[in-house]
Structure 1
Amino acid sequence: MHAKIVNRRAILRTAGLLAGGLLLDSGTAHGLARATPDEAWATLREGNRRWAADAAIHPHQDLARRAEVAAKQEPYAVVVSCIDSRVPPEIVFDAGLGDLLSVRSAAQTIDPLVSAAIEYGPAELGAPLIVVLGHQRCGAVTAAAHALHEGTTLPGKLQHIVEELRPAYKRAHGNVEKMIRINTAEVVAELKADKLLARRIAGKQLKIVGGYYSLDTGEVTRLV
């Protein structure tokens, strides 16, 4: 009886992997780095649908995968997201070890060092996709909006976040949810103008998209 249950689980898991496009042949064993940008986005979308539907399969999270990618990584996407503890990219997109490069900062704001980290994925590892992911009820955006509304200065280096979000605040007239979407689109535009990334976009080797993650539903929707 136990063997039958195990076999049934194995069959169901294999079926799920096939349905999600995650059971790869030996030519693409490390991931989807050689996929097109659209294929990489489709894989992320499918993973997010599983997560939102409470049907995550947690791919590439075992000892075999750890051994497989120990000597070489070929992530298929760079996800630029907020540091918020409720938005971990590998969980949100039901991905695993070696699949994603996660670059995280408060409200997914970028500066030269963050931009360099983002560039690394496409330029050095051939990742075909960058996703800038804003999210519902972002605490960093809320704090910045409050500081700008009250005319106060946040302590330490936190004020740098406020200044980065000032343009979005003005365009959104202080509305936090609008600020989140506007800031996400502005970061996408800034990355598209990056000379190193722009060359790869022109050669159809790379796409940069903006998304919005709902804390309530777990769903990612594309903004730009």
Structure 2
Amino acid sequence: MCFTCDARSLGRRGLFATGAALLATAVAPAAQAQTPARPDTPAAAMQELVEGNARYAANLMRRTDFSARRATLAQGQAPFAAVLGCADSRVAPELAFDQGPGDLFVVRVAGNFVTPDGLGSLEFGAAVLGAKVILVLGHTSCGAVNATVEALQKGNTLPGHIASLVTAMKPGIEPALAQPGDDLIRRALVANVRHSVRTLETSTPILADMVARGALAVKGGIYDLATGRVELI
């Protein structure tokens, strides 16, 4: 086997690398100039999520060159919003709100409820990274919510650690079973999201203080799998 380099080939490769570097240098400022300003208030952050979801639902998402921001993001992050979402594979917050890398601080667990680890992560996202809003994002046809409703109605036990999901979601969903009406699953979805919202906005010592000072807002929403639209609740 020959390990001798072809000097001419190496020269061409070096020229190509130099040209690519110069091109990247020339393009990067223009790409950065097109990056929207980061929302700096809870209201502005929420408005950006609303507008981004409208673009997504209408299939008018912004064309984004992720490579242009990659080097900058390697130096640090400053997400403008945090999302507590479900682990469901059909719900991708960055897509649903038409955002790129570095824009959203996402915590996911089946059933989008607050866990100790998730709470700590969201505290970090808000207090350290500067997220202005936390959105608790439920979704239609949520298997975790459906399983919890069925378990509460029938008393059945789910296998393994799946049962712990029902235990955690029970306080938020159980009151919905006592309410009248045929839309039990819808009521359970909303109740589960609102329970997590209340848990987060009253969580001491960090989040409750930020909410009281107006530095952070905690909101809830339901993502419709069929349409891609998020309904704020």
Q: 4+ runs of 1 displaced by more than 4 Å?
A: none
The structure that has the greater radius of gyration is 2
Letter of the 1:207 partner, please give it: A
Tell whether the 8 Å contact from 1:58 to 1:96 is kept in structure 2 after alignment: no
Identity of matched residues, %: 39
Match of 1:162? 166
Alignment of 1:146-157 (within 5 A): 146-157=150-161
Q: CA deviation at 1:58?
A: 4.5
Is 2:134 aligned against 1:134? Answer: no
Is 2:157 aligned against 1:187? Answer: no
Tell whether the 8 Å contact from 1:58 to 1:94 is kept in structure 2 after alignment: no
Alignment of 1:21-40 (within 5 A): 23-24=35-36, 31-32=38-39, 35-40=40-45
SS in 2 for 1:79: strand
Q: Which runs of 5+ in 2 are unaligned?
A: 1-30, 179-183
TM-score (norm 2): 0.79
Q: Distance in 2 between matches of 1:150 and 1:202?
A: 41
Tell whether the 8 Å contact from 2:138 to 2:223 is kept in structure 1 after alignment: yes
Alignment of 1:7-156 (within 5 A): 23-24=35-36, 31-32=38-39, 35-59=40-64, 61-156=65-160
Letter of the 1:141 partner, please give it: V
Identify which of 177, 180, 187 aligns with 1:178. Answer: 187
TM-score (norm 1): 0.82
Q: Which runs of 5+ in 1 are unaligned?
A: 1-16
Q: Distance in 2 between matches of 1:212 and 1:194?
A: 22
Identify which of 202, 214, 220 aligns with 1:210. Answer: 220
Tell whether the 8 Å contact from 2:152 to 2:174 is kept in structure 1 after alignment: no
